[in-house]
Amino acid sequence: MLSVRKCYFVIKNIIIFFLISVINVLGQKKGLLMIKGHTYSEYSPNYWYCTKKKSAQCNAKARTDRHGHLIYVKNEHTHLPPAYHITNTGQYVKIS
Ligand SMILES: [Zn+2]
């Protein structure tokens, strides 16, 4: 589990994240890293690629150390961040 800070505001049940957290998304086995609203999936231990790497040819990436701290991020994306709805049970459902 990453040690993270979480900061967000809600507009009509849509949560917009500014900082860094690990989220559980409906239909995804593994947690995603969320940085400023963009999501990253872990492709090998501690290496994270943008979840739109293929679909949007996005080269954003991040690295965490073995303690789960963020040690590198290239947060330049070719697309807008996805929007999520958060359920009562704390699960994320992608809505765009
Ligand atoms: Zn991206």
Centroid of ligand 1 to alpha carbon of 80 (angstroms): 8
Q: Which residues of the chain have pLDDT under 70?
A: 1-20
Question: What's the 41 CA to ligand 1 centre distance in angstroms?
Answer: 11
CA of 2 to the centre of ligand 1 (A): 20
Helix (H/G/I), strand (E/B), else coil: 59: coil
pLDDT value of position 18:
42
Report the alpha-carbon distance of residue 53 to residue 8 in Å, rounded. 25
Phi, psi for 50 (deg, rounded to 5): -55, 140
Q: What confidence score (pLDDT) does residue 84 get?
A: 87
How many A from CA of 43 to the centre of ligand 1?
14
Domain boundaries, the chain: 8-94
**Is domain 8-94 classified as CATH 3.10.20?**
no
pLDDT at 13: 55
- Please report the pLDDT score of residue 7 as a whole number: 45
Separation of 54 CA from ligand 1 center, angstroms? Answer: 9
Task: Take residue 32 and report the two structure tokens written for it.
Answer: 């995603």
